[in-house]
Chains A and B, each alone.
Chain A
Amino acid sequence: MAIRGRAHKVGDHIDTDLIIAGRYLVTTDPVKLGEHLFEDLDPGLRQRIRPGDVLVAGENFGQGSSREHAPLALVGAGVAAVVAASYARIFYRNAFNNGLLLLECPEASRAVQDGDELEIDPQTGEIRDLTRGELYRAKPIPPFMQELTQLGGIIPYVRRRLGREAS
């Protein structure tokens, strides 16, 4: 199913402390975490994000702490997908394990402007900027990550594997 929402742009090297500050890591509830999303980066940003919107980031998005609360906060705030030039590795794994769609596309990361209307096809990785009439293609998701995504992350993947081994 296609994702359609407004773009919210953030910069390079956005760390997981900026996504969700350490002081809020006393819950695992995505909605509660989502209330404080990006609080130290831009206190008004959370209020501008509507369910289904898309975050557009620069290089190395999600650097720093391994807190899985970061992708959970994005999910809890209703962010449907992230488009970035590149991702930090622990965040990348954590996002896939929590069903948050990540697309790697340096061109879109540069060209899309804050507030643009985007349409994303998760299957093909096509990113349409409806405001500007541009089309971008994200780098293909590695086959193993596609499998993880289709199953819903590492937990269903392990469940399936253990079930298969048991039967």
Chain B
Amino acid sequence: MGMTITEKILASHADLAKVEPGDLVECRVDMLFANDITAPLAIQQFERIGVDRVFDPDRVAFVLDHYSPSKDIASAEQCRITREFVRKHGLPHFYDVGRAGIAHVLLAEEGFVAPGELFVGADSHTCNHGALGAFATGVGSSDLAAAMATGRLWFRVPPTLRFVFRGTLPRWVTGKDLVLRIIGDIGVDGARYAAMEFAGPVLQQLSMDERFSITNMAVEAGAKNGIMEPDEAVLEWIRPRARRPFQPVYSDPDASYAAVHEYDVTDMQPVVSAPSSPANVVPVTEVTGVRVDQCFIGTCTNGRIEDLRQAARVLAGRRVHPDVRLLVIPATPRIYRQALEEGLIQVFLDAGAAVSTPTCGPCIGGHMGVLADGEVCVSTSSRNFIGRMGHRGSRVYLSNAAVAAAAAVAGKLVHPDEVVREPARV
């Protein structure tokens, strides 16, 4: 019996020829990171371990993205703790205000994760990097501290669920819609403790940006990791970026899967996750007319250039509805600059949107767009839990960028076709 890509990466990093689901393995970690919320606790725990230095400064990154630029004195102190640790240990991969972006998007574009590698981050959306054919998973601060001291971490080898997409993507249907659809089908614990492997010819129709949106949300089904086999597009994307030589890994034809789910995407529609669970998925046409107060385009799930282009296609020559605030937050400085060069920022400003420097801010109800009691937000983020983006009485619909932009123009949830009648996918 062969192995899946996930099993192969875990096996090679544990120096084993073969692993099976359920095995407990201790793996080498190729790269790790923490953010301004998880780093202070990881630093505390690292100092309790009592070692003088991190296992390899070149394999450790810190990114200030959540409450940065600092929202108040307490969050400023958290950032200060992280800065001091970085300076004390002379860590080269530190991203502070102005150079920082949302960690998952930034670290991928900076080439810190490559096919076949094992990556851990003290942030649940670390599973994002599976789109590159890497094993990437979120851990807590203590586990991160252990890995930072030793370069190793234990894992239970997960069973793999395989999701195969066939057919032709209709316009306005994006990678985000595919992953929401899966979460709607299997539930928020449908892949608990498992690996989600995404496959099928439709992946080739998707940009890298859209692929990241899919693996990014694996954790929303409870998965340990989301992963895709690295095709030629991945290799082309990563070659100019990768910081180390890498070895792509592929699932064996006779690999064993706990389940295989097949999807034909041809008749799919854009969907939303209605309040207050990512699994509460319905076609946008079923909730048309729901009035909105705020729309938010950004985050590690959908703050990439392709998302901004989709939003701009809807917003070009149109105005944000007078009763709606639209927030657009490019995920990294590089994406921000590219959006500027492509004229997208101009489109957003002309439409009446607020455009901000990269931050996770609104997604966690932290700053830069916190919701009041009773307010409704259409957000391109990944979680619509009660209170996630503000008051516990606020409500969040998760969607792709075009749906969020269309809602901003219409003042209510609508199919993007109702706002614009040109193809989104050209």
B residues near A158, Cβ cutoff 8 Å = 49, 146, 149-150
- A90 with B138: in contact, given A13-B188, A21-B387 (CB under 8 Å)? yes
Q: Taking the complex as formed, is A137 at the interface, i.e. its CB lies under 8 A from any CB of chain B? A: no
Asked if A88 lies at the interface with its beta carbon under 8 angstroms from chain B, I say yes
Q: Compute how far the CA of A94 lies from the CA of B138 in the bound complex, rounded to whole angstroms.
A: 11
A155-B388 in contact given A28-B40, A68-B140 (Cβ < 8 Å): no
The interface of chain B, by Cβ under 8 A from chain A, is 24, 37-38, 40-41, 44-45, 48-51, 66-67, 72, 74-75, 77-78, 122-124, 126, 138-143, 145-146, 149-150, 154, 188-189, 192-193, 219-220, 222, 224, 277, 364-366, 370, 383, 385-388, 392
Q: Is A109 engaged at the interface, CB distance under 8 Å to the other chain?
A: no
In this complex, what residue of A is CB-closest to B193? A89
Contact of B24 (CB < 8 Å), options: A72, A93, A144: A144
Residue in contact with B222 in the complex, picked from A17, A22, A63, A142, CB distance below 8 Å: A63
Ordered by A's residue number, 30 sampled pairs between the chains whose C-beta atoms are within 8 Å are A17-B386, A18-B385, A21-B387, A23-B365, A26-B78, A27-B74, A28-B41, A40-B387, A60-B188, A60-B192, A64-B124, A64-B383, A65-B383, A66-B124, A66-B138, A66-B139, A67-B38, A68-B140, A68-B141, A86-B189, A86-B192, A88-B189, A93-B140, A93-B143, A97-B143, A153-B142, A154-B142, A154-B143, A158-B146, A162-B51
- B283 → chain A closest CB, angstroms: 23
* Chain B neighbourhood of A63, CB < 8 A: 188-189, 222
User: A113 within 8 Å of B by Cβ?
Assistant: no
Which residues of chain A (30-79) have a CB below 8 Å from chain B? Answer: 39-41, 59-60, 63-69, 72
A13 — which chain B residues lie within 8 A by C-beta?
188-189, 277
Q: How far is the CA of A40 from the CA of B364 in the complex (A)?
A: 13
Determine the distance from Cα of A59 to Cα of B277 in the docked complex, in whole angstroms: 14
Known contacts A17-B385, A39-B392; 4 additional CB pairs below 8 A are A21-B365, A66-B124, A86-B192, A158-B146
Cβ-closest 10 pairs across A and B? A40-B387, A22-B364, A26-B74, A94-B140, A97-B142, A68-B140, A40-B392, A60-B189, A66-B124, A66-B138
In angstroms, how far is the closest chain A Cβ from the Cβ of B169? 29
Shortest CB distance B190–A (Å) = 10
Give the distance to chain B from A94, nearest Cβ to Cβ, in Å: 4
> Interface 1/0s, chain A 1-37, versus B by CB < 8 A?
0000000000001010110011101111000000000
B43 to chain A, nearest CB (A): 9
Q: Across the two chains, which residue of chain B brings its CB closest to A70?
A: B140
Chain B neighbourhood of A40, CB < 8 A: 386-387, 392
Residue of B nearest to A43 (CB): B392
Report yes or no: B75 in contact with A41, Cβ–Cβ below 8 A: no
Contact partners of B138 in chain A: CB under 8 A: 66, 90
* CA–CA, A161 and B338, complex, Å: 48
What chain B residues lie within 8 Å of A93 (beta carbons)? 139-140, 143
The answer to whether A144 touches B154, judged by C-beta atoms less than 8 angstroms apart, is yes
CB B3 to nearest CB in A, in angstroms, measures 21
A109 to chain B, nearest CB (A): 14
> Smallest Cβ distance from A18 to chain B, in angstroms?
6
Q: Nearest chain B CB to A53's CB is how many angstroms away?
A: 23
- Least Cβ–Cβ distance between A140 and chain B, in angstroms: 15
Q: Across the interface, which residues of B come within 8 angstroms of A90, CB to CB?
A: 124, 138-140, 219
Q: Are B189 and A26 in contact (CB under 8 A)?
A: no
In the complex, the chain A residue whose C-beta lies closest to that of B224 is: A89
B49:A162 contact, CB within 8 angstroms: yes
Looking across the interface, which residue of chain B has its beta carbon closest to that of A32?
Answer: B74
Q: Which of A25, A97, A142, A161 contacts B37, CB < 8 Å?
A: A25
Residues of B close to A66: CB separation below 8 A? 38, 122-124, 126, 138-140
Complex contacts, B388 vs chain A, CB 8 Å: 17, 22
In the bound complex, residues from chain A placing their C-beta under 8 Å from that of B149 are: 158, 162
- When distances are taken between beta carbons in the complex, the residues of chain A under 8 Å from B124 are 64-66, 90
**Is B383's CB under 8 angstroms from A98's CB?**
no
Instruction: Quote the shortest CB–CB distance from A13 to chain B (angstroms).
Output: 5
Q: Does A159 contact B (CB under 8 A)?
A: yes
A144 to B392 Cα, complex, angstroms: 38
User: Hey, which chain B residues are within 8 Å of A144, CB to CB?
Assistant: 24, 154
